[in-house]
Amino acid sequence: MKTKKVTFADIASYTGFSKTTISRYFNNPDSLTLENQQKIADALVALDYKENKVGRILASGKTEFVGIIIPNLYLHYYSEMLNQILATYEKYKYKFLVFAGNDKANVERAYIKELLAYNIEGLITLSGTIPSQELASYNIPVVGIEREDQYISSVNTDNYMGGVQAASLLRKSDCDILIHVNSDLPDTIPASGRIRGFVDTCKENSLPYELILTHLGNTFEENKERISGLVDQLESKYPGRKKGVFMPNDTHANVLLNILFQKYGKLPETYQIIGFDDSPISREAVIPMSTVGQQISVIANEAMNILSAQMAERKKRRPEPLKEPVHKIIPPILIRRETTV
């Protein structure tokens, strides 16, 4: 036999409250006393109430959807971060709509327009294409991860400390020359801290070093071609010398490792490699790679914690908007594996 669907009228009859009061419990619970909220909650259990999510969305306009913009799914850091953000559903009960912008501002603006049409309650963005001032103008809570964040809340790794850790490990590996490969990043991008931390450590310890600031491409084919050229450059410039190479992320570190394996059948003694992120590829590589570990699950949970607090505040009868963005910095953890001594 079909079980009769419990309605607001049934709950009102059971509790003695009006249907308006029951509706307020679902859509604006802060307007009720805690005692009355508890009475209604007890009634829902007694009546075995099954929530009509679609009806609630239509009534309140609150979708419980959060938008996510990521640059791409090629870099393992982004795919793992997305995995960890999606896993927060168990705790926060928000659903996600995900778009990959591929570093194209016009594409990302179209995606955000689409997300706003779905009445998302908040946005998490890992892409730095659209300025934070513009993101703040959308009038929804926004949290950035590893991007420019002057006007929005954010959660970032302590990138400077990560650069220090990478250079320090390569120093202990008795490298003749320390090399950091990265993009030429402005100071407003958190990852630029890796460059500063690396350079400062080399200078403070009088270590010979070289910065190679170049764009390695957005696809595997581009990465392989450009990193192969980088290997040729290093072997020509530093023949026979022990080279400690700090790559910008684990994906690029793995490409470098594969190129060396294809060329020599092993990781030559003249190379030490460390990546950044501790994404799964660092453990799954042909030999496990040393890396500066971003605490990806911690970052994902902090981002949702900040976002959910802001979204919950907006649902109150008298919400208090943030006076200024919230910025959280998460310390990295150095993970020493087989690509460094």
CATH number at residue 47: 1.10.260
- In this structure, the answer to whether residues 135 and 166 fall within a common structural domain is no
CATH value at residue 213: 3.40.50.2300
201 and 174 in a common domain = yes
- Residue 1 falls inside a structural domain: no
Alpha-carbon dihedral angle through residues 259, 265, 270, 275, given to the nearest 10 degrees = 40
Nearest to 78 by CA among 101, 96, 97, 95: 101
* Banded model confidence at residue 323, pLDDT cuts 50, 70, 90: confident
**Does residue 306 carry a pLDDT above 60?**
yes
Residue span of the structural domain in which 43 resides? 8-60
User: Do 43 and 16 fall within a single domain?
Assistant: yes
Residue 305 lies in a domain: yes
Residue 244 in contact with residue 178, Cβ under 8 Å?
yes
pLDDT, tens digit (0-9, with 9 covering 90-100), for 266-301: 999 999 999 999 999 999 999 999 999 999 999 999
Report whether 122 contacts 310 (CB < 8 A): yes
Last-in-domain residue among 43, 60, 77: 60
User: Sorting pLDDT into bands at 50, 70 and 90, what band is 3?
Assistant: low
256 and 171 housed in the same domain: yes
DSSP string, 32-52: S-HHHHHHHHHHHHHHT----
Domain termination site, one of 40, 60, 80:
60
Domain-located, residue 339: no
- Collapsing DSSP states into helix, strand and coil, what is residue 66? strand
Q: Is residue 340 part of a domain?
A: no
Look at the chain and report how many structural domains it folds into: 3
150-153 long-range contacts, CB within 8 A, separation 24+: 150/188, 150/325, 151/325, 152/325, 153/306, 153/307, 153/310, 153/322, 153/325, 153/326, 153/327
Report the side by side order of strands in the sheet with 271-277: 209-213, 177-182, 243-246, 271-277, 290-293, 333-335
Cα–Cα distance for residue pair 148/130, rounded to 1 Å? 9
Q: Are residues 102 and 69 in the same domain?
A: yes
- What would the pLDDT profile of 224-241 be if each residue is shown by its tens digit? 999 999 999 999 999 999
Q: Examine residue 196 and state whether it is found in any structural domain, yes or no.
A: yes
Residues forming a β-bridge with 62:
none
Q: Among residues 303, 320, 314, which one has the least CA distance to residue 119?
A: 314
Q: Are residues 214 and 301 in the same domain?
A: no
Helices 192-204, 159-172: crossing angle, 10 deg rounding: 40
The values of phi and psi at residue 178, to 5°, are -100, 135
Q: Are residues 238 and 120 in the same domain?
A: no
Per-residue pLDDT, 2: 47
Residue at 24 is within a domain? yes
- Tokens standing for 82? 């997305």
In a domain, 337, yes or no: no
Residues 168-220: tens digit of each pLDDT: 999 999 999 999 999 999 999 999 999 999 999 999 999 999 999 999 998 99
23/97 same-domain check: no
Q: Are residues 231 and 249 part of one domain?
A: yes
- 181 and 53 share a domain? no
Residue 140 forms part of a structural domain: yes
Question: What is the pLDDT, as a whole number, of residue 52?
Answer: 59
What's the mean pLDDT in 48-61?
Answer: 58
Residue 102 and residue 132 share a domain: yes
Quick one: average pLDDT of 75-79? Answer: 95
Lowest mean pLDDT among 60-74, 82-96, 105-119, 248-262: 60-74
Residues 153 and 301 in one domain: yes
